[in-house]
Amino acid sequence: AQRVTQPEKLLSVFKGAPVELKCNYSYSGSPELFWYVQYSRQRLQLLLRHISRESIKGFTADLNKGETSFHLKKPFAQEEDSAMYYCALRNTGGFKTIFGAGTRLFVKA
C-alpha cells in the first residue's frame, strides 16, 4: 500500500538554525515525491519535487530509495519559513497523490 509518514506534527527551531522535516514513504515501485507548503492564509502550493533536484527558497530534498525517505532540509531557517509542510507521493504514470499528515514548522526569532 502507498503511504507517506511525517513523524513530526510540530517542529520548532530558532532563526538561523538548520531544519530537517522528515518524510518516509511506502511504495512498491518508483514514485514521484513532492513537498508542498501552506503559508498562513495562503493556498497549498508546490515547494519542490525530487525529479527537479533543485533548491527552492534554500530548501533541498534528496530521495533515498534505500531508506525510502525524502527529507526536506534547509541549512539556515528564516522566520518566513514558518508554515505547514506536506510530503506527497504520486505513483509513476498515475494520477493519485498521497499526502502525509503534515509538519508545522515554527521558526522563532
Torsion of CA 86, 44, 54, 21, to 10 degrees: -20
> Using the rule CB under 8 A, which residue among 15, 32, 56, 104 binds other proteins?
32
Give CA 34 to chain center in angstroms: 7
Question: CA 92, 38, 16: angle at the middle one, nearest 5?
Answer: 105
> Using the rule CB under 8 A, which residue among 102, 103, 105, 107 binds other proteins?
102
Q: Which stretch binds other proteins (CB under 8 A): 17-25, 46-54, 57-65, 74-82?
A: 46-54
Interface with other proteins (CB under 8 A) = 32, 43-46, 49, 51, 86, 90-102
